[in-house]
Structure 1
Amino acid sequence: MRLPADALSVRCYGASHGSHAHEHFQILLGLDGVLELEVDGRGRRLAAGDGAVIVPGDRHDFEAAGAARCLVLDSHDARWQYARENPAPPALAPLASYLAAACGSALPRARMLGPALMLEAWTPPAAVRRARRAIDWAALTAWAQAHSHESLQVSDLASRVHLSAAQFTARCREDLGQSPMAWLRELRLAEARQFRRQGLPVAEVARRTGYHSPSALTAALRKQTDH
C-alpha cells in the first residue's frame, strides 16, 4: 500500500475547535505567538522555537489567546516516534523559518526536502537506530494464528511486542506497508483458505478464524479474490 506523501504547511491558530485525532504523525514548530496545546489530557505551551510531536491516535486540541502561527508537518514516517522523546533543538528555529517561507513561495525543492531535514535536525539517525526495537514478525504471526478464533484489536497485538498501539501501527506501516488490522485480516484469510483446502466446512472455518458467520467469511474471501 502506498502511503500519502508528507505535507508541510503554515497554520494560524486561534479559538479551539475541539479535540480530534488522526492516523498520521503531526509535528508542530512554533513561529509566532503562543499556542496552548493539550495532548491526551496533558497540557503544554508552544512558543516560537518550541516543537511538539503528536503521534497517531493521540487526541489533541489547540488554542491561542491571540494568534499563533506554526509550521506543521503531517507525516507517516514512523521515526518521528523517537523524536518526540527529545525537545526541539535550537537549530530547528531557523530551519522552521526558512521552510515556512518556502511554503509561501515557489520553492518546491525546499518543501520536498523539508520533512527529512526536520527529522535529521530533531533526532540524529544513530539515535533512531538505538531506540528501535525489532519486531519478531514470525513470532507475532504464530501468536496471532494461535488466537485466530478471538476478536483481536491493535492493542492486543501491540502489547505482545511491548509497544503502544500508536507505535505498533507506525511500525506495521513501515515494516509491512499496511495497517495492523489489514495484516491480521490477510493472515486470517490465508488460514481460512488453508482450512478449506483441508475440507473443513465453512462454518467451522469461520469459527476458527474469528468471523461472526460463514457468510461474512465467504464475503471476505470473495472480496480478497476480486482485488
Structure 2
Amino acid sequence: MKHPTDALSVRCYGASHGSHAHEHFQILLGLDGVLDLEVDGRGRRIAAGDGVVIVPGDRHDFEAASAARCLVLDSHDARWQHAPHNPKPRALAPLASYLAAACDSALPRARLLGPALLLEAWVPPAMPQRARRAIDWTALTDWATTHSREPLQVDDLAARVHLSAAHFTARCREEQGQSPMAWLRDLRLTAARRFRSQGLPVAEVARRTGYRSPSALTAALRRPAGR
C-alpha cells in the first residue's frame, strides 16, 4: 500500500472559510503577519516564528485581519504525534524561511526533503539514557564478609560500588528484594552459622561477624528467618 506523500507549501490566509478537519497532521509556521487560529475551541495567534501542530480530526478555523503568510506542512507521518503542539520554535525560523523560498522557487529537492528536515528540527531528539552501573553482588558479598567485623553502614556498601546511598538502597531492594542492612544482616548470619557448624565458640563467632556480644549473636540465630 502506497503511503500519501507529505506536502509542503506556503499559504496566505485572510477571511475565514469556516471550520474544518483533516485526516492528516497539519503543521504551520508563521512567516509574515498574524494568523488567528481556533482549534477545537481553543484560540491562539500565530505570528512570524510561531508554530502549531494540528492533529488529525481536530476541527479548526483560520482568520487574519490582514494577509498572514505561513509555511504549511500536510503530513501523514505518525511521528508528529510526539511533537509539542504549541512550541516556541524560534530556532526554526531560518529553516522555515529557506523552505518557504524553496516552495516559491519550486526547488524539487528542498521540497522533497523539507518535511523530514522540519520534523527533525521540531521534535527534540530523545536524550540517550545512561547505562546503569552494574553491581557485582558476588564481589560485594566477598568484601562485606571479609569486613564483617567492622560496623558497616549503607554508605560503606554504596561507596564500594560507586553509588550514592539512596541509589544503592533502591538497587538493593530491586535486585536483592531487601534493604541494604537486611542484606548485610543475612550475610553475617550465614557466616555465623557456618562458623558455629565448624565448632567455633559463640564469643569468637560474634567477634568475627561483627555482633556486639555473644548474647546478641545468640538472639539473632534464634530469631525466625525474615525478622
Bucket of the pairwise TM-score, normalised by the shorter protein: 0.5 to 0.7
Q: Distance in 1 between matches of 2:16 and 2:85?
A: 26
Correspondence list, 1:191-210, <5 A: none
Shift of the 42–106 alpha-carbon distance from structure 1 to 2, 3 Å rule, reads closer
Q: Secondary structure at the match of 2:28?
A: strand
Task: Could you list the structure 1 runs, at least 4 aligned residues long, displaced by more than 3 angstroms after superposition.
Answer: none
Correspondence list, 1:5-154, <5 A: 5-85=5-85, 87-126=87-126
Q: CA contact under 8 A between 2:54 and 2:85: conserved in structure 1?
A: no
Q: CA deviation at 1:86?
A: 5.4
Q: CA deviation at 1:85?
A: 4.1
What RMSD in Å do the two structures reach over aligned CA positions? 1.7
Q: Distance in 2 between matches of 1:36 and 1:94?
A: 23
Q: CA deviation at 1:82?
A: 1.4
Q: CA contact under 8 A between 2:51 and 2:86: conserved in structure 1?
A: no
Q: CA contact under 8 A between 1:86 and 1:123: conserved in structure 2?
A: no
Q: CA deviation at 1:57?
A: 0.2
Q: Distance in 2 between matches of 1:59 and 1:86?
A: 16
Q: Distance in 1 between matches of 2:86 and 2:67?
A: 26
Q: Distance in 2 between matches of 1:5 and 1:80?
A: 15
Segments of structure 2 that go 5 or more residues without pairing to the other structure are: 130-227
Q: CA deviation at 1:89?
A: 2.3
Q: Secondary structure at the match of 2:116?
A: helix
Q: CA contact under 8 A between 1:40 and 1:58: conserved in structure 2?
A: yes
User: 1:17-63 CA deviation, whole Å, 9 max, x = no partner?
Assistant: 00000100000000000000000000000000000000000000000
Q: Secondary structure at the match of 2:78?
A: coil
Q: Distance in 2 between matches of 1:90 and 1:13?
A: 21
Q: CA deviation at 1:106?
A: 3.8
Query: Which protein is bigger by CA-based radius of gyration?
Result: 2
Q: CA deviation at 1:84?
A: 2.8
Q: Distance in 2 between matches of 1:48 and 1:85?
A: 17
Q: CA contact under 8 A between 2:10 and 2:71: conserved in structure 1?
A: yes
Q: CA deviation at 1:11?
A: 0.3
Q: CA contact under 8 A between 1:86 and 1:122: conserved in structure 2?
A: no
Q: Secondary structure at the match of 1:91?
A: helix
